[in-house]
Amino acid sequence: MRRRLAKLMGMALRRTPFAPGEWYHCFSRGVEKRITFEAPRDYERFIQLLYLCNSLEPVRRDNFKQKSNSEMYETKRATSLVAIGAYCCMPNHFHLLLQEKAEGGISKFMHKVGTAYTMYFNIKNERIGGLFVKPFRSKHVSENLYFTQVAQYIHLNPIELFQPGWKSGAVVDLTRTEQQLREYSYSSLPDYIGDQRPERAILDTEAFDLIASQVSNISDLLVDTAAYYQNLPR
């Protein structure tokens, strides 16, 4: 387990050629490490785009007019570009676990999401220019076990907000940390732990079943990950 964690935490940051049917961990951050999600509405818009942009059709502005959050996820879509296994949004970056469903699907999806969110953010903040670092980064997920561990890594990202020193081996309240993770609504973890919410429509059914079978061990995962950080050479 620790060897796998080491592989996750030390991932090479490089672009990977995408192959249909394969899974990839894709991630990007704000230019100059700037904050890209400034308010709850920003997180909500980006997550809605994960659903709306996963289609061969373009995203229309009227998708956002006079619709509740739940109605947004009832929008009918054409053939999807990718399968989404997990996601997490942080103040200045995001992580996605994506499967290439058709040739060029991941690149098209990431372009659509990035463009649509940047347009929204720039209009709201009266700014111009790019928002996310390009090109986005990716890592091929080559094994089933590694696949579930990448999902867990993505879901653990918010701990950096709750316990900033935990990667330095600082003692943390793991019970409190688990509760904070479960309450963090800007990732797919709530869907995997049984919360009934419309955002569940974002996730691929087959990937959901595989990842959900591992989520029940979140307490053990936190203990093991904390031990990994505490035993790193100083």
pLDDT tens-digit series, residues 96-114 = 999 999 889 999 999 999 9
Closest by CA position to 52, among listed 135, 118, 103, 116:
116
What interhelical angle do 218-230 and 144-156 show, nearest 10?
A: 80
Q: Which amino acid is at 91?
A: P
- Rounded mean pLDDT, 67-86: 90
Q: Is the pLDDT of residue 64 over 70?
A: yes
Is the alpha carbon torsion for 101, 106, 112, 113 positive or negative?
A: positive
The DSSP-derived string for 94-152 is EEEEEEE-STTHHHHHHHHHHHHHHHHHHHHHT--S--B-SSPEEEEE-SHHHHHHHHH
Q: 102 near 30, Cβ under 8 Å?
A: no
The strand pairing partners of 28, in sequence order, are 94
DSSP state of 73: T
**Residue 5 pLDDT:** 45
**Residue 28 pLDDT:** 96
Helix, coil or strand: residue 89: strand
What confidence tier does 140 reach under pLDDT thresholds 50, 70, 90? very high
State the chain's mean pLDDT as an integer.
86
Higher pLDDT, 181 or 223: 181
Length of the chain: 234
pLDDT tens-digit series, residues 118-130 = 999 999 999 999 9
List the structure tokens of 174: 């793991």
pTM reported for the whole predicted model = 0.89
Q: What is the b/e burial string over 199-218, where b = at least 16 CB atoms within 10 angstroms of the residue's CB?
A: bebbbbeebbeebbebbeeb
**Residue 76 pLDDT:** 87
- Rounded mean pLDDT, 66-79: 85
CA distance 73 to 149: 27
Which one of 3.30.750.24, 3.40.640.10, 2.60.120.10, 3.30.70.1290 gives the CATH number of domain 2-230?
Answer: 3.30.70.1290
Answer whether the bond into residue 158 is a cis peptide, omega within 30°.
no
Locate the domains of the chain by residue range: 2-230
Helix, coil or strand: residue 223: helix
- Rounded mean pLDDT, 215-230: 76
pLDDT tens-digit series, residues 15-61 = 557 999 999 999 999 999 899 999 999 999 999 999 999 998 888 77
